[in-house]
């Protein structure tokens, strides 16, 4: 997979890709990530890329021309499966969307800043808009990093143990069951006997029941989704 990220602040988003699973995925050749700074497409030598909004109102808006130049140039080089805009006024990211995107070859992600981007960019280029939750961040960079993490770890071969992504929370619309490791007893707190029994069908059953219990308690809304 190739991911191109277009942003006002490439330096703000680089770091998560330089560590842990996201780094390993790139080292293994499973994903290539490229950052594009919007100021490289600025209208003047002072790096102008934003302006006041028509009609008045607080906050600057990213201008159409620098983004148009950047996206059009990238689109001439390859076909993108999705051109994604990270914004709070969009459907919320979920595991289903991450699964679908993990199967794509080329993703282009535009991150907003300030009050967002000129609406005409959204109308002309964007095929999918994603929010990472009902709160407003200072910019879309961290949201893009969250999206990329959720997607990249699902690319086959990225996680060492293939099954570990399959048993994540949300993969079957359930939260993950509790997990324990050594010691089997600590300060009087015991690990459930069933997990020490070696009876794997029973352990699976226990885990499934525990996942349902936890989901009922914390996220009952998930049980109503199909």
Footprint of ligand ADE (CB under 6 A): 86-88, 112, 131-133, 135-137, 140, 143
Nearer to ligand ADE, 141 or 174 (CB): 141
66 vs 140 by CB, closer to ligand ADE: 140
Name the residue nearer to ligand ADE (CB basis): 140 or 215. 140
Peptide bond into 119 cis (omega under 30): no
Phi, psi of 58 (to 5 degrees): -70, 150
Q: What are phi and psi of 178, to 5 degrees?
A: -65, 150
Give the shortest CB-158-to-ligand ADE separation in angstroms.
Answer: 23
Q: Which is nearer to ligand ADE, 144 or 210 (CB)?
A: 144
Helices 141-152, 20-27: inter-axial angle, 10-degree rounding: 60
**Shortest distance (Å) from residue 153 CB to ligand ADE:** 19
Q: Which residues, other chains included, contact 136 with Cβ-Cβ below 8 Å and sequence gap of 6+? A: 88
The Cα 226–Cα 224 span in angstroms is 6
The residue behind tokens 């509790």 is 178
Rounded to whole angstroms, the Cα distance separating 84 from 89 reads 13
The residue number whose beta carbon is nearest to ligand ADE equals 143
Closest by Cα among 194, 135, 207 to 168: 207
For the CB of residue 104, give the shortest distance to ligand ADE in the complex, in Å: 19
Task: Rank residues 1 and 86 by Cβ distance to ligand ADE and give the closer one.
Answer: 86
Residue number with CB closer to ligand ADE (143 or 158): 143
- CA-based nearest residue to 219, from 159, 168, 176: 176
The C-alpha angle 110, 103, 174, rounded to 5 degrees, equals 95
Least distance in Å: CB of 24 to ligand ADE? 25
Q: How many CB atoms lie within 10 A of CB 53?
A: 15
Q: How far is the CB of 8 from ligand ADE (least distance, A)?
A: 12
Q: What is the closest distance, in whole angstroms, from the C-beta atom of residue 195 to ligand ADE in the complex?
A: 37
């Amino acid at each position: 997979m190739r991911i191109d990220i277009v942003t006002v602040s490439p330096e703000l988003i680089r770091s998560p890709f330089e560590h842990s699973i996201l780094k390993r995925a790139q080292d293994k050749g499973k994903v290539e990530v490229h950052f594009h700074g919007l100021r490289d497409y600025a209208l003047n030598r002072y790096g102008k890329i934003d302006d006041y909004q028509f009609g008045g109102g607080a906050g600057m808006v990213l201008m159409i021309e620098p983004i148009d130049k950047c996206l059009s140039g990238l689109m001439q080089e390859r076909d993108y499966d999705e051109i994604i805009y990270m914004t709070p006024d969009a459907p919320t990211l979920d595991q289903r969307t991450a699964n679908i995107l993990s199967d794509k070859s080329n993703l282009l992600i535009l991150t907003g800043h300030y009050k967002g981007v000129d609406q005409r960019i959204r109308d002309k280029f964007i095929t999918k808009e994603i929010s990472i939750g009902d709160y407003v961040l200072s910019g879309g960079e961290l949201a893009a990093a969250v999206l990329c993490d959720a997607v990249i770890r699902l690319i086959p071969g990225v996680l060492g143990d293939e099954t570990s992504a399959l048993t994540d929370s949300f993969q079957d619309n359930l939260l993950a069951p509790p997990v324990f490791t050594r010691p089997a007893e600590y300060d009087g707190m015991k690990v459930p006997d069933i997990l020490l029994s070696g009876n794997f069908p029973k352990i699976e059953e226990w885990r499934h029941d525990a996942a349902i219990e936890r989901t009922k308690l914390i996220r009952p809304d998930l049980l109503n989704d199909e």
